[in-house]
């Protein structure tokens, strides 16, 4: 690829889907990069209009049609990775990361049989590589690949930085760049992704949250070399360090119909896959809060739902306990008909920060919300007991806490406050409010393990320093 001379290094920030918006569009990431002298264009494969909403320079990817084989090849690749991890470690946690195969019609039977065959007979490094090669070949054969390649030739970036490693939509853009000799880098999106077999793309460089994530990348993807990995921390938590977005107690409460004198705990909802009976944990929390109110405490609940849950499964609980629960919905926008076309907004970052700041604690099933709250010195209660509504075919939340990323806790028993029985929600809330329990110091150690502990608010700056390092 012939490159024209330009004093500024040109970087394409690739959004294969909407998950990267929070980290790379709604923080100061772009402004920091421009201040460092980079020419930045957002290569946008999402429905979110970056130019219209934020005034950012964007190049739209018009075709989002991946090859018909890609999804099933990627599913087989993931199953093979998990089988390899189980073989290597003799750890039975890896099969629990699998989603059930479907056998309900001829098409799903053929796909599931293909995946099962490779999981059984291709669980070797060579078998994994063959699946990657087939997936890449399929994507290179598409008209979309040619369109993406033409865009790169026309705009001549020096580097393509992909904002998530998980998306099959990212394969063709990154292959097009690599085939033109353009450097590629990828952000590992979440703290739990590497053990789960969720790395769909291969790039020249990888940016990770922590030294722990670096060691995991080397373990699970042995083709990767240490020199390809740059540890930066994550922009995900940067807004929590921006005091300018904090509202006064009076202003926050007035905006959301709360009483400034009341103490609030936050119940942060989870998705239906992770916590299918989540509404009953909200109900148990409401029962505990009612009991504490009867004892004379001025206490209530802010309920923040997971943004993509439109199931209505919480509605009955919210109605029954409206005396103690106030819902404050995330500020996400539907930009299409499908669930994955509900996009975050910059305003929601400020809402989340203020919800953490003005709450006493959070009750949540096993998400990284624990870190959002501990930045504000607020503790977390993790419920870890079965609901009586649990039946065959419904996932038990206890499985979540056995996952590899929870092994990063410096002390499993004290990194959070556990509710191992329904009644312990009351004990935990009371103990935390009275100061008899305080997991925060240990939670902060945990936060320093999963994120870069030094100056966590400077992750975006370190990413740009890493990009500069790659360029030079």
Specify the CATH number for the domain of residue 287. Answer: 3.40.50.2000
Dihedral sign, Cα of residue 22, residue 448, residue 402, residue 214: positive
Residues 306 and 438 in one domain: yes
Same structural domain for residues 191 and 304? no
| Mean pLDDT, rounded, of the chain | 95
Same domain, 278 and 365: yes
Residues contacting 468, CB < 8 A, separation 6+: 9, 36
pLDDT grade for 6, boundaries at 50, 70 and 90:
low
Mean pLDDT of 396-402: 93
Residues 354 and 462 in one domain: no
pLDDT of residue 8: 87
Rounded to whole angstroms, what are the CA distances from 15 to 19, 64, 97, 180?
Answer: 8, 12, 25, 19
Work out the end-to-end distance of the chain between its first and last CA atoms, rounded to an integer number of angstroms: 18
Shared-domain flag, residues 295 and 366 = yes
Residues 6+ apart with CB under 8 A from 100: none
Last residue of a domain, one of 137, 154, 178: 137
Q: What is the pLDDT of residues 116-162, one digit of tens each?
A: 999 999 999 999 999 999 999 999 999 999 999 999 999 999 999 99
Question: Between residues 33 and 99, which one has the greater pLDDT?
Answer: 33
- Cα 451 to Cα 460: distance, rounded to the nearest angstrom: 13
Query: How high is the pLDDT of residue 310?
Result: 83
Residues 259 and 325 in one domain: yes
Please give the structure tokens belonging to residue 88.
């290597």
Of 170, 327, 202, 357, whose CA–CA distance to 258 is shortest? 327
CA atoms within 13 Å, Cβ hemisphere of 390: 11
Dihedral pair phi/psi, residue 252, rounded to 5°: -60, -45
Q: What is the pLDDT of residue 260?
A: 98
Percent of the chain with pLDDT over 70: 98
Q: How confident is the model at residue 232 (pLDDT cuts 50, 70, 90)?
A: very high
Q: Which of 213, 195, 215, 202 is nearest to 98 (CA)?
A: 195
**Looking at the domain assignment, is residue 4 inside a domain?**
no
The answer to whether 160 and 12 are in contact (CB under 8 A) is: yes
Same-domain status, 289 and 374: yes
Last residue of one domain, picked from the residues 96, 113, 137: 137
Taking only the tens place, the pLDDT of each residue in 235-279 is 999 999 999 999 999 999 999 999 999 999 999 999 998 999 999
In this prediction, residue 313 carries a pLDDT of 95
Same domain for 94 and 57, yes or no, is: no
pLDDT at 338: 66
The range of the structural domain enclosing residue 398 comes to 239-450
CA distances to 152, 156, 180, 319, 470 from 2, in Å: 11, 8, 9, 64, 19
| Residues 125, 147 contacting (CB under 8 angstroms) | no
CB 380 within 8 A of CB 364: yes
* Residue 415: pLDDT over 50: yes
355 & 420 share domain: yes
Do the beta carbons of residue 183 and residue 424 sit within 8 Å? no
How many Å apart are CA 279 and CA 311, to the nearest integer?
Answer: 11
Total of domains in the chain: 3
Residues 280 and 402 in one domain: yes
Q: Are 159 and 185 in contact (CB under 8 A)?
A: yes
| CA atoms of 11 and 470, how far apart (whole Å) | 12
- Using CA atoms, how far residue 124 sits from 100, 130, 369, in Å, is 22, 10, 36
pLDDT of the residue at 391 = 83
Q: What is the mean pLDDT of residues 453-462?
A: 97
Spatial CA neighbour of 174 closest among 79, 81, 45: 45
Same domain, 220 and 311: no
Whole-structure pTM value: 0.95
- Give the domain-ending residue among 95, 110, 137: 137
Q: What is the pLDDT of residues 303-361, one digit of tens each?
A: 999 988 888 999 999 999 999 999 999 998 877 666 567 788 889 999 999 999 999 99
Whether 4 shows a pLDDT value over 60: the answer reads no
Dist CA 271 CA 282 (whole Å) = 13
Instruction: Judge if 338 and 441 occupy the same domain.
Output: yes
Tens of pLDDT, residue by residue over 48-57, are 999 999 999 9
> Quick check: is 1 in a domain?
no
pLDDT for residue 5 is more than 50: no
Residue 104 lies in a domain: yes
How many angstroms separate the CA atoms of 199 and 207, rounded? 13
């Amino acid at each position: 690829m012939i490159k024209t001379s330009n004093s500024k290094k040109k970087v394409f920030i690739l959004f294969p889907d909407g998950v990267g918006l929070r980290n790379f569009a709604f923080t100061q990431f772009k402004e920091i990069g421009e201040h460092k002298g980079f020419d930045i264009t957002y290569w946008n494969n999402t429905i979110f209009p970056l130019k219209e909403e934020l005034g950012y320079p964007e190049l739209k990817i018009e075709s989002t049609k991946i090859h018909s084989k890609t999804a099933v090849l990627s599913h087989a690749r993931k199953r093979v990775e998990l089988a390899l991890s189980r073989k290597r470690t003799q750890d039975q946690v890896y099969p629990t990361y699998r989603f059930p195969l479907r056998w309900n019609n001829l098409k799903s039977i053929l796909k599931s049989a293909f995946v099962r065959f490779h999981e059984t007979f291709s669980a070797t490094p060579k078998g994994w590589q063959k699946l990657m090669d087939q997936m890449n070949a399929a994507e290179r054969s598409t008209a979309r690949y040619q369109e993406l390649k033409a865009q790169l030739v026309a705009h001549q970036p020096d580097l393509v930085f992909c904002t998530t490693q998980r998306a099959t939509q990212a394969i063709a853009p990154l292959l097009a760049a690599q085939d033109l000799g353009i450097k590629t880098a990828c952000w590992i999106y979440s703290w739990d992704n590497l053990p789960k077999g969720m790395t769909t793309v291969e790039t020249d460089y990888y940016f990770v949250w922590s030294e722990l994530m670096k060691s995991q990348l080397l373990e699970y993807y042995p083709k990767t070399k240490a020199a390809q990995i740059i540890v930066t921390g994550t922009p995900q938590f940067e807004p929590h360090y921006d005091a300018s977005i904090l509202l006064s107690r009076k202003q926050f409460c007035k905006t959301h119909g709360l009483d400034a004198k009341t103490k609030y705990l936050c119940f942060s909802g989870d998705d239906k896959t992770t916590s299918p009976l989540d509404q009953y944990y909200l109900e148990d929390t409401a029962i505990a809060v009612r009991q504490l109110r009867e004892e004379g405490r001025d206490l209530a609940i802010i309920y923040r739902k997971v943004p993509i849950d439109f199931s209505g499964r919480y509605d009955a609980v919210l109605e029954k306990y409206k005396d103690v629960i106030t819902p404050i919905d995330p500020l996400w926008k539907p930009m299409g008909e499908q669930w994955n076309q509900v996009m975050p907004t910059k305003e929601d970052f400020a809402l989340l920060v203020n919800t953490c700041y003005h709450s006493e604690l959070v009750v949540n099933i096993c998400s990284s919300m624990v870190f959002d709250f501990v930045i504000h010195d607020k503790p977390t209660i993790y419920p870890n007991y079965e609901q009586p509504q649990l039946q065959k075919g419904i996932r038990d939340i206890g499985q979540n806490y056995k996952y590899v990323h929870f092994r990063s806790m410096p002390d499993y028993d004290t990194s959070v406050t556990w509710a191992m029985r329904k009644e312990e929600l009351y004990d935990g809330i009371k103990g935390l409010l009275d100061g008899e329990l305080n997991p925060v110091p240990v939670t902060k150690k945990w936060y320093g393990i999963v994120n870069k502990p030094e100056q966590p608010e400077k992750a975006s700056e370190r990413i740009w320093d890493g990009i500069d390092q790659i360029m030079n």
